[in-house]
Amino acid sequence: MSESNKILLIYTGGTIGMVMSVESKALKPFDFGSLKDTIPELEHIGCTIDFEVLNPIIDSSNMSPAVWSKLARMIRDRYNDYDGFVILHGSDTMSYTASALSFMFENLEKPIILTGSQLPIGITRTDAKENLITSIEIAARRDYKNRPMVPEVAVYFEYHLYRGNRTIKQSASQFEAFASPNFPALAEAGVELVFQSSIIRKPRKKEVHLNDSFDNAVVGIRLFPGLGVEQLDHLISVPNIKCVVLETYGSGNASTDKAFLAVLQKAFKKGIHLVNVTQCSSGRVQMGRYEASEELLKIGMINGKDITFEAAITKAMYLLGQGWNKRSFKSRFEQNLRGELTP
């Protein structure tokens, strides 16, 4: 790394950017203009760090497709000026934002690293400093050919770098807040930063392109014993719904009750896309493996394979926003676009 490497730090809101007021003891936004005074260790990374603050900053619970697009455009407009980007983000919806950004940027060749913390940056036992320092170091790291080590959207938390669209938030109280159940870590931070180069996506040597149109006419429904047919029919019959992401049992199983299946069949005939994802944190959908999923296969449900719920929701919004019709939507959804699923 050298001082010529330039990293843009974007603060969207969230715990990581808060400090405790000396007077009131209340939490208030951190002044990023004093970043290197607060964290002098950043000087040792050996790169130039600029920062921008999303206006207005938001709690990540208020994240939306409009903000995803705003973030993506901030990066696109500065893409040629920086070697990497670090987004400071609340942890609650970080996996959704990471997934959305991964779909929006086609042919990405620079790192976009999202990170946050469980404790504010001004707290004594905070995890914020390590997450921030290492995220910037990863964004600035180059290989022996002077290429970015991680030219993809990733999440860094508690010594692990994960592909963003493979992550789930697994804990609200532990520092190890994120996991990637179906895909290994891209890097681990111990005494050394160890990258798994063989699984990091390689740029396609084509011009980066931003597609930031989303259509949020998507609903997610988690099956549970006792979910009534009337309730399911009501949820699916919401006006203007175009896609239902159905969280099924195990490897993609659901009730074989005829009335239940008739609701799904009716939705399919109306042109609603039906996506089958598993409720399990790890594993994959295998429709037809058991009788309880055979009928779903016959109906024409889309196989979500080992995609996370977060990635499935954002991918559906993204594909709808691109205007894919019924047949091509199914084909594109089941295709691995940005490393979000295993073919």
| Residue 194 falls in which region: left (phi positive, over 0), alpha (psi -120 to 50) or beta | beta
Using DSSP's 3-state secondary structure scheme, residue 318 falls into helix
According to DSSP, residue 203 is labeled P
Q: Which pairing describes strands 112-115 and 48-53: parallel, antiparallel, or unpaired?
A: unpaired
> Concatenated DSSP letters for 67-130?
HHHHHHHHHHHTGGG-SEEEEE--STTHHHHHHHHHHHEET--S-EEEE--SS-TTSTT-SHHH
> Concatenated DSSP letters for 127-191?
SHHHHHHHHHHHHH-B-TTS-BS--SEEEEETTEEEEGGG-EE--SSSS--EE-TTS--SEEESS
- The values of phi and psi at residue 310, to 5°, are -60, -45
**Catalytic pick among 12, 15, 134, 278:** 15
- Determine whether 48 is an active site residue: no
> Concatenated DSSP letters for 215-258?
---EEEEE--TT--HHHHHHHHTSTT--EEEEEEBTTTB----H
- Positions marked catalytic: 15
